[in-house]
Every structure is written in structure tokens, then in C-alpha cells.
Amino acid sequence: MKNPEDDVVLRLNESLRPAGRTLFDVPRVGWITGWLSTGVFVLVLALAGAWQPAVAAESGLSPDPVRVEVLLGAATNGTVARLRLAEMCDTFGPRFSGSTNLEGAIDWILARLREDGFENVRGEPVKVPHWERGEEWLEQVEPVPMRMPVLGLGGTTNTPVDGITARVLVVTNFAELESRAAEARGRIVVFDAPFTAYGETVRYRGAGGSAAAKVGAVASLVRSITPFSLQTPHTGMMSYEAGTARIPHAAMTVEHAERMRRLQERGIPVTLRLRLGARQWPDADSRNVVAEIRGREHPEEIIVVGGHIDSWDVGQGALDDGGGCLAAWEALRLIKTTGIAPRRTLRLVLWVNEENGLAGAKAYPRQHADELARHVLAVESDWGIGPVQGFAFTGSGRANEQLKALLPWLGLIGAGQIKAGAGGSDLGPLLHEGVPTMDLWTDKRDYFWFHHTAADTVDKVDPGELNRCVAALAVMLYGVAEMPEALAR
Amino acid sequence: MKNPEDDVVLRLNESLRPAGRTLFDVPRVGWITGWLSTGVFVLVLALAGAWQPAVAAESGLSPDPVRVEVLLGAATNGTVARLRLAEMCDTFGPRFSGSTNLEGAIDWILARLREDGFENVRGEPVKVPHWERGEEWLEQVEPVPMRMPVLGLGGTTNTPVDGITARVLVVTNFAELESRAAEARGRIVVFDAPFTAYGETVRYRGAGGSAAAKVGAVASLVRSITPFSLQTPHTGMMSYEAGTARIPHAAMTVEHAERMRRLQERGIPVTLRLRLGARQWPDADSRNVVAEIRGREHPEEIIVVGGHIDSWDVGQGALDDGGGCLAAWEALRLIKTTGIAPRRTLRLVLWVNEENGLAGAKAYPRQHADELARHVLAVESDWGIGPVQGFAFTGSGRANEQLKALLPWLGLIGAGQIKAGAGGSDLGPLLHEGVPTMDLWTDKRDYFWFHHTAADTVDKVDPGELNRCVAALAVMLYGVAEMPEALAR
């Protein structure tokens, strides 16, 4: 597949004479307009004086500052990641585990990866759960009849075909539910917990069903986990505590949760009727997507980078996590197209089933058990495609010291920060096996407005921000793949 | 109805000794915390020095600076407007012309107005159109089947029961439709016009149906008129040009319109199936809501203030125009509760059927023909409850001069600006009769995110902004009602 900016990159690449050059005295004719267009040029000029000592190095060094410069220019001016993201999202729609959409998208990616010239392109078999949303509705019976948006949560049990009809008890948090436990019996509990931080508020989505069941509720509804809503329901996983009754658990909108709380405060009874009718099918065949750039000196030393290719079953999964997948893929593609042959192996892994089971993340270490000791680093981008800030890292102090050498370059695109603590979701099983892990750190900004909704669509991805994510990943991956000494565990 | 802040207002009011005081040396103990809480106190201090000459007047003047001060304090600290708005919206839901919801809300308002002690409280009979949304759906048939959000536009004709199925032609504007007229025959035209200004972009909602029909389209869809979307369809009025075929015309979401444009650019055919099944009932009985504070010297001279009490049939009509109605009502209520007996009559008018017919706005001048020559001013708030900026005014140069005296007070709450050009929607017929007209001028900010959607709910109204709208209206109304000479025509 021939991409528009490949020409530019290759031309620049050919004109490079690495020896004797520094990052800041390479001819800039080709990419100067690119820097200008991304608004970074002024920053570059401003920082050049201060940071030159850190980055001015004779070329031939590992990593090579000239290569980094070319990567940054190519990434920040690219269009491929955005175009491919749009094409994938528009062609296949949501990529939920067990769906034909997902398998179509995986086939499409595998074909593109082969066209790109990656090595060892393959889908590694993973059995994934196959839950399918069915008939769903939520209506108010009193005080006035109306329909409301609703999304059943992943893993919820169903209602009878006619739904469950019951009075509502609105609570703000678990403590209030406990203090009003006597009122909860036979009710539909509504958790109207205002969004604070995702990790805090999502507890009501995950554990609300069992908490409500323990006090005798017949169903529970959670205010969608978001700081902003246009009557927007947000789905996501929930789970049942062992030994408690399994009651239906679904997400409603912020607006209606707040409205019911106000009605309750005015002493006006609210009765709802909830219908959830999902199907749980036998586990389905799916795949982790894998592709490589084999290392020129230490092919056995592996740096993994990726995102998760599955999404929820609403929207397009553009931010969660199509953008992360495309950013990782594009970073490796640009390393290839700019002619870099890295010292170590760079491996793209697009895990499957992050959203409702982590089957891909669990399968990968099993299927690569013999390689895990030589996994130098595993990087994931799964926090949306907001303004890139840098990386979160979990690894040794010595590794942190080694990574510092890359910060001046990352700083050129505003990504020159490394904070502690990475390794969520897909990286968890690798972290458990002792692999150093890293998250792309983006400003989550309005990410949770769209997260797990029908509005997680490709128009929400800012092309400039996506490009800066690509740039940050490309520099980090090339840097770690090229260091003379492998990142210390 | 006893309201919490009435006590405060009355206490402050009782402590006032108007003679010999200026705006800035009234005891402030009661309301100083209020100013602090609204963040205006610093502004007051900063401006006091500069503006004191303009506003420092012996009390006993008309209008009385001490009265203004009390009004501002009461309005910016109030809770009644917000509580009543929430109660009305939550109890009755959308207030669409012809609905029982609307009539229930009107009854509720009339009862509250009587409790408030207004004079001549009444519903003035108005026949309104009665259009009722029915079965509606929009589905993509190819390239992949999916359902999409849709809202039929007010006045659209229906599809057959099974819907209309046709290939899509996406255009960005009317010019592109004309240039591609040959491709439009038999198609569903999608107007994917990005939001610029409301007045500009809304043309595709209003006139898109007939434009598409002229080139042989079988139906048309307009990208919802908004700068931001979470898969949010926006309804509103449309109309057919005389002599053109009447084809179904509905609103789709920004996300899907953009997606179809991208598919078209990739050469991928899109086929849709659209179902609209609204009912047009005989005209229904409704009412304009009217209530008064009769003038103490010139009861025959009337200043009208209001909003429109009807809303679209989705959401709660909290911003459009419940907030405007409550702001006008509360401004007059505070004038009463702070003990003001204005020189002229202040009349609250909540027009009905602004959204789909303007029947209330047209009925009012007919029903008050003998009074129109003595209508000093008509004010409406119908641009949402964003940060208040001031007023737009259509009237004589002399009237503009007279209004300038009120600007220093309005400036205390950031509303000290009057711009030219008022008299839209409900004010149009009065303007036509020569009545000076005025719009409350608010920063529309994110107003069109919510406008005519299911997300126009009471949680979108910021209580502080609502209070500043109340304050601006109260000062303007008291000022114009109290001027020694009536506002010059």
C-alpha cells in the first residue's frame, strides 16, 4: 500500500548523511513546513538552545538523533493512521468479541500489515466470550409514562420477557444504600453517583448489581460513568459477587438518574419497567494480531507495543481502542518506512477481548512463555487519543535512568514526561511475568464523554493528537529497540 | 408559596431607608456573602469607584438605586427560579403544542402565579397546531445493516408504513446539490452541512426537503444543527416550498452524516431505509399565560416580558424555553417581593406554540389590539440561559438614550451592554405593530449542543447563570417601568 507521505519520508531519508550531524543541523527544507503546520516549530526553536547539550550527539550513536528527527517529522505530518482508522471504523463498525465485525476487522488489518511488509504477520488463536446484546428497554411507569435510553452491562443477567416492574430507590453511594437497606427490598436501586474519577465511580457499574441484590433489590441501574451527557448511556463490564443473587444491572443516563433523585426528594414515587434480553453464546474463535520488525542484532529481544482490537458493541470503538491500535501500528510502520533496522525486535500485538474478559491478554503470555524472559518492554496505548503527555512506566530504577536519554526528543512534541505506574488491562499478565510495562500517557480530557458509547466514533479523534501519539510511540520504541544495552529489568 | 430567600429579601427591604442613600452605602451585611458566592463582589468593588458618579443618586429617584441594589441581591442569591424550573420540567416533561403535558404545565404555572399574588392571572385562549410524532426509524441497509438515531422534523410528510428505501447522495450544501442534481433522482439526499452559525446552517433543516425534492430525491436527511454531538439528533421545524413535491425530511446525527460522506468519498454505496409516521390532529385548545403587576401611576402603560411556554416534544424544554419563562416570571416576582410598586404595568406573557406555529405570538396582538399603542416595551428571553451579556433592542434613538441610564447597574452583573436588533419569534408580531422590542442577550456558548434534543434537561441550566438572567431582567423591567417619562417610541 502506497501512502502519500511515504514519498516525503523516503526522500528526506535518502538525503540524510548521518555521520557528523546533530539533531538540529540537519537540512530542514522538507519538513520545516510540517513543523510549522503542527505548531511545534516555535517550540523547537525555543528549546533548541536549552536542550541541545542533551540531544546533540554525533550520528552513529544508538539511538541516532537524525533517525529520531526524521521519525518525528514523518509522524507529525502523517495521514495514514487517521485514514486507516476511519476506514476500519466505517467499514466494520463496533468490534465486539464474538462478532463477525471483529473478525472482519482483524482480517483487514492482517492484510494491510502484510502489504506494509511486516514480518511474521499472524493471528494467534484466542477463544473469546460471546455475549450478545438483545432486546433492551427502560420505561417509566409512574409518575408519567416515558421511554428512556438504557444499555445493559456486560455480564448482566436478563429480565423476564415482560421486564421487571418495581418502585425506585435512588442512592448516591454504597454507604447510603446501606443506611437505607430497609427501603431497598423489592425495589429497583438507582445508583446516582456523580462522576469523580473513573476508577472511583466505575465501582457502581462493576459492583452495583451485587450490592443492590444484598439488600433485596430486584434490579439495579447505574448512572452512566461520565462527567457529561447528552442523554448518553455508557456500557461496560459488571460482575457478580459469589454467593449473592444475580439481578439485572444496566446503565441509564445522567439526566434521568438526576431527575429520579429530584423526584424522590420531592416525595414522588417513581416506578420503572426494565427489560434486558442478552444472549450468552459458546466461546468464539478470535485472534490476537501480531506483526514484527525483526531485530538486526538481537532478534530474540522483544519490545511489544499495541492496543486492544476489540471494542464495546456500540459506536465504532474509535477512541477505545481503535486509535491506540492505529497509533502503535503506525509508529512501527514509520520506523520501517524511514529505513530503520532496529537492534532488537519490535512486535505489534493487538490484543483481543480487553473489554469483556481479557482473553487475548491472558493468552499472549501462555503462547509466548518461552520468550517472556527476553521481553524487554511491553507498551500499550489504551487511554484515548487526547494530547500526549508522555508515558507511565513500571520497571527498575536503572531502566528509568536509561529512558531519561529519550526525554529531550519526546519533549519536542510535549511528551517528555515519564511517570510511575503502568500495566493495566492487557499489560497485566505480562507485568505479572516480570516484563517492564509502559502506558502511553495522554490527557484524558473529554475521553469519558465518549467511552463505551455510541458516540465513540472516528470524528472524535483529532488527527493532530493522533499524530503526536504516533510520534511519541515511534521515538520511544526506536529508542528502546536501539539502546546499546537492553533496558534493565 | 413561601420561599426561602423571601425572608432575606424582606429583611433587607425592611432595613432600607431609601432617602439619602446611594447604591453603594446601603448596609450590606445580609447580601455581601451572596455577592461573594457569585463571584461578583470583586467586580463591584473594582467598578464602584469608576461608576459611582453614574449611579450614585439620592434615593427617591426613578428608578431608585436602592431598589435596584436590593433586586440584584435578591436575584443573584435566589433559588426559586431553579427549583420551579426543575419541578415543572420533571413533573410535566416536554411541553409540545397540543399535548396534555403542556396544558398540565400551564395549569401549574397559573396556580403558582396566583399564589405569588400577581394580578389578572389568566390563560388567554389560543388554538394551536397538534402534530404528534409517531413511529420513526432509520436503518442502513448497505454496506452493513444498522439502526441509527433519527428525529422527524416538524411538518414533514410521512413515509409509507414500510419506509422508503433508497441509495444515498451526500452533499455539503445547496450548491453541491445543484451541481450533482443529475445524481439525486430517486435518492435519499443527506445534507452534511457542518455547523457554522445557527441562522446559516438551519437553512438545510428548513428548506432541505424542498431543495431535494426539486432534483427528484425521494426523501432527505439533514445533519443535526449542532456544533457537537454524542449521536444526538436535533428536531425543529421545516417547511415545504409551494409547488414542489412534499418528501419526508428528518434529522440524523452528525456522526452518521460524516460517516456516509466518508463512505461516499471511498466509492462505497450506502442504502438507507427511513420510516416517519407522524399524525396531524385537528388544532388544539391551548393558552398564552398572562399575569400582571399593575402600575401605580400609569397602569395603562404596559411593559411585557416573557418567554415561550411550549417546547419541542423531546427532552424537557429546560433551556428552550423553560429557563426563559422562569427568568421572566422570577424577575417580576422579585419586583413584587421586594416591595416595588412600579409606575407602569409589568405584564408576564408566556407565549404558546413558538416552536411550531407561533400561534400564541400571533394571537396576543389580536387579543390586545386596543392596548398595543400603550405597549411601552416587549422583552423576551429565548436564547438559553448562558452567561448574560445584556440586551438586544429595537426601538428609537431616544429610547436607546433613555436605556443608557440603566447600564451601570446592569454592568454590575456583566449585563451592561445593549446591542441593536431584537424582536424574533414571539416578538415579531408586536414589532410589526410598532412596539419596541428587546431580547435578553446571553452568551449562547453550548446552547446548540442541547437545542431541540432529548438532552435539553434541567441539569443543563446553571443556577448562577439563571440567577444573573433574572437579575438583568429585573433591573431592566423595574427601570423601564419606573422611568419618569415612558420609553420613547
Per-residue confidence band for A14, with pLDDT thresholds at 50, 70 and 90: very low
Strand partners, B250: B152, B221
CB-based contact (8 Å) between B90 and chain A? yes
**pLDDT over 50 at A304, yes or no:** yes
Residue B102 and residue B187 in one domain:
no
Q: Which residues in chain A are closer than 8 Å to B146, comparing Cβ atoms?
A: 93
Q: Which residues in chain A are closer than 8 Å to B92, comparing Cβ atoms?
A: 144
Determine which of A39-43, B112-116, B177-181, B375-379 has the lowest per-residue pLDDT on average. A39-43
Q: Which residues in chain A are closer than 8 Å to B144, comparing Cβ atoms?
A: 91-93, 101
Could you say which of A90, A230, A458 has the minimum Cβ distance to residue B455? A230
pLDDT in the model for residue B364: 98
CATH of residue A338's domain is 3.40.630.10
Domain that holds residue A181: 144-269
| Boundary of a domain, candidates B269, B297, B316 | B269
- This prediction has a pTM of 0.88
For residue B311, being part of any structural domain is answered with yes
**pLDDT over 80 at A12, yes or no:** no
Of the candidates A72, A128, A135, the one whose C-alpha atom is nearest the C-alpha of residue A102 is A128
CB-based contact (8 Å) between B231 and chain A? yes
> Using an 8 Å Cβ cutoff, are B218 and B166 in contact?
yes
Q: What average pLDDT does the segment B359-366 reach? A: 98
The reply to whether residue B231 touches residue A90, judged by beta carbons under 8 angstroms, is no
**pLDDT over 50 at B10, yes or no:** no
Closest residue in chain B to residue A260, using alpha carbons only: B90
B:309-338 residues touching chain A, CB 8 A cutoff: 315
Q: How far apart are the first and last CA of chain B?
A: 38
A:201-220 residues touching chain B, CB 8 A cutoff: none
For residue A274, being part of any structural domain is answered with no
pLDDT in the model for residue B27: 34
> Using an 8 Å Cβ cutoff, are B278 and B158 in contact?
yes
pLDDT > 70: percent of chain A: 88
**pLDDT over 50 at A176, yes or no:** yes
Residue A119 and residue A179 in one domain:
no
Residue B349 and residue B453 in one domain:
yes
The reply to whether residue A450 touches residue B230, judged by beta carbons under 8 angstroms, is yes
Q: Which residues in chain A are closer than 8 Å to B229, comparing Cβ atoms?
A: 230, 455
Catalytic residues of B: 354
Q: Which residues in chain B are closer than 8 Å to A450, comparing Cβ atoms?
A: 230
| Boundary of a domain, candidates B219, B245, B269 | B269
Closest residue in chain B to residue A93, using alpha carbons only: B144
**pLDDT over 80 at B1, yes or no:** no
pLDDT in the model for residue B60: 58
Mutation to test the B interface, candidates A95, A142, A255, most B Cβ within 10 Å: A255
Q: Write down the mean pLDDT value for chain A.
A: 90
- How does DSSP classify residue A372? G
Residue B329 and residue B460 in one domain:
yes
Catalytic choice (A301, A330, A354, A380): A354
Residue B86 and residue B171 in one domain:
no
Q: Which residues in chain B are closer than 8 Å to A457, comparing Cβ atoms?
A: 231, 255, 259
Could you say which of A262, A453, A457 has the minimum Cβ distance to residue B90? A262
> Using an 8 Å Cβ cutoff, are B428 and B361 in contact?
yes
C-alpha cell at B333: 416576582
Q: How far apart are CA A412 and CA B462, in angstroms?
A: 40
Could you say which of A230, A255, A457 has the minimum Cβ distance to residue B232? A230
Residue A86 and residue A166 in one domain:
no
Residue B223 and residue B308 in one domain:
no
Tens digit of each residue's pLDDT (9 = 90 or more) over B236-294: 999 999 999 999 999 999 999 999 999 999 999 999 999 999 999 999 999 999 999 99
**Mode of pairing for the β-strands spanning B146-148 and B388-394:** unpaired
C-alpha cell at B229: 454531538
Of the candidates B365, B369, B394, B376, the one whose C-alpha atom is nearest the C-alpha of residue B299 is B376
Tens digit of each residue's pLDDT (9 = 90 or more) over B18-37: 333 333 333 333 333 344 34
For residue A229, being part of any structural domain is answered with yes
Per-residue confidence band for A38, with pLDDT thresholds at 50, 70 and 90: very low
For residue B277, being part of any structural domain is answered with no
Closest residue in chain A to residue B457, using alpha carbons only: A255
Tens digit of each residue's pLDDT (9 = 90 or more) over A330-373: 999 999 999 999 999 999 999 999 999 999 999 999 999 999 99
Residue A104 and residue A176 in one domain:
no
CB-based contact (8 Å) between A450 and chain B? yes
Q: Which residues in chain B are closer than 8 Å to A231, comparing Cβ atoms?
A: 232, 315, 453-455, 457
Smallest Cα distance from A239 to chain B, Å: 27
CB-based contact (8 Å) between A262 and chain B? yes
**pLDDT over 80 at A452, yes or no:** yes
**pLDDT over 70 at A178, yes or no:** yes
Tens digit of each residue's pLDDT (9 = 90 or more) over A17-29: 233 333 333 333 3
Beta carbons within 10 angstroms of residue A174's beta carbon: 16
CATH of residue B211's domain is 3.50.30.30
Q: Which residues contact B286 (CB under 8 A, 6 or more apart)?
A: B97, B98, B102, B103, B106, B125, B126, B127, B128, B310, B352, B353, B359, B360
> Using an 8 Å Cβ cutoff, are A430 and A378 in contact?
yes
For residue B278, being part of any structural domain is answered with no
> Using an 8 Å Cβ cutoff, are B159 and B278 in contact?
no
For every residue of B383-402, which 3-state class applies, written as one string? CCCCCEEEEEEECCHHHHHH
**pLDDT over 80 at B124, yes or no:** yes
CB-based contact (8 Å) between A147 and chain B? no
pLDDT in the model for residue A4: 35
Q: Which residues in chain B are closer than 8 Å to A93, comparing Cβ atoms?
A: 144, 146
| Boundary of a domain, candidates A243, A269, A295 | A269
Q: What average pLDDT does the segment A380-406 reach? A: 96
For residue B276, being part of any structural domain is answered with no
Closest residue in chain B to residue A454, using alpha carbons only: B231
For residue A303, being part of any structural domain is answered with yes
CB-based contact (8 Å) between A267 and chain B? no
Q: Which residues contact B359 (CB under 8 A, 6 or more apart)?
A: B97, B126, B127, B128, B129, B286, B352, B353
Q: What average pLDDT does the segment A250-272 reach? A: 98
pLDDT in the model for residue B424: 79
Residue B293 and residue B438 in one domain:
yes
Could you say which of B86, B254, B266 has the minimum Cβ distance to residue A262? B86
Handedness of CA B183, B185, B190, B194 (dihedral sign): positive
Q: What average pLDDT does the segment B153-157 reach? A: 96
Q: How far apart are CA B111 and CA B108, in angstroms?
A: 5
How would DSSP label each residue in A435-469?
--EEEEEE--TTHHHHTTSTT--GGGS-HHHHHHH
Residue A294 and residue A365 in one domain:
yes
Q: What average pLDDT does the segment A244-256 reach? A: 98
The reply to whether residue A232 touches residue B229, judged by beta carbons under 8 angstroms, is no
Smallest Cα distance from A316 to chain B, Å: 10
Residue A149 and residue A50 in one domain:
no
Per-residue confidence band for B388, with pLDDT thresholds at 50, 70 and 90: very high
Domain count, chain B: 2
pLDDT in the model for residue B44: 42
